[in-house]
Amino acid sequence: MPTPGIHPLAQANVLSLIAESGWVAKFVLLILFAFSVVCWAVILTKWRNFRLILSQNNTFQEIFWSGKSLDEILHKSHHLTHSPLLSVFRFGTKELQKASHFEGSHLSASERAEQFYRALIRASTQEVAQLESHLNWLATTASAAPFIGLFGTVWGIMNAFQGIGSAGSANLAVVAPGISEALITTATGIAAAIPAVIAYNYFTSQMRRVTTDLECFCQDFLALTQRTLHSSVRKGS
């Protein structure tokens, strides 16, 4: 049995600390819990997506360099639904079809090549923008969660000082409830922020890898289609 009049802090677990906290601390913990749930949902989804993207990009590059024609590449890679390279390739083939059927243009071969390259860059930029979606939530969680927890810490310390003033003494029974609120909100804020920081840095590095692959692919695709662009110019002249 705990001693009467003394808060049983030594016997309390995390759940009891939460149950004994004030409404402000509980509200702070609820916010941090919501941040953490959304953060982990984004982490798991992005981890799965990037794993598929990198794997399918590698597969598509093998098909692209071994393919004999654009139609053959499209046929062999139709199942790679998560590959941004395939999406850019499909967009590029449509642009080539437009160029091959367009007559009467006064653009030179170099101007058409530049126009085609800009179209590829626009397509790759759209793919990158889709991959970056929801990453800002990880950055927000990483930066905001510690400060939200700090707010709960400050509030708990304020309650502790109010308890000291009301009781007229600074014994453990008076100080412990406010300090426990402060400690649990601080710990929860840090626990929500740490995985967000790690995941954000990891996914940012994966984004740089995918972006580099897209840039290199756009250049390679342009180099391999120079003949088509030149022939379309001759047809239109």
Segment 175-189, tens digit of pLDDT? 666 677 677 888 889
Is the pTM higher than 0.75? The answer reads yes
Q: Is the pLDDT of residue 2 over 50?
A: no
Q: Is the pLDDT of residue 33 over 90?
A: yes
Q: What contacts 70, CB < 8 A, 6 or more positions away?
A: 93, 96
Q: Is the pLDDT of residue 10 over 50?
A: no
pLDDT category of residue 23 using cuts at 50, 70 and 90:
confident
- 8 Å CB contact between 180 and 17: yes
For the chain, the domains span 30-236
Amino acid at 118: R
Q: What contacts 197, CB < 8 A, 6 or more positions away?
A: 138, 142
Residue 104 Rama label (left phi>0; alpha psi -120 to 50; beta): left
> Of the ranges 22-31, 119-128, 157-166, which one carries the lowest mean pLDDT score?
157-166
> Of the ranges 51-55, 64-68, 174-178, which one carries the lowest mean pLDDT score?
174-178
Q: Is the pLDDT of residue 105 over 60?
A: no
89 or 116, greater pLDDT: 89
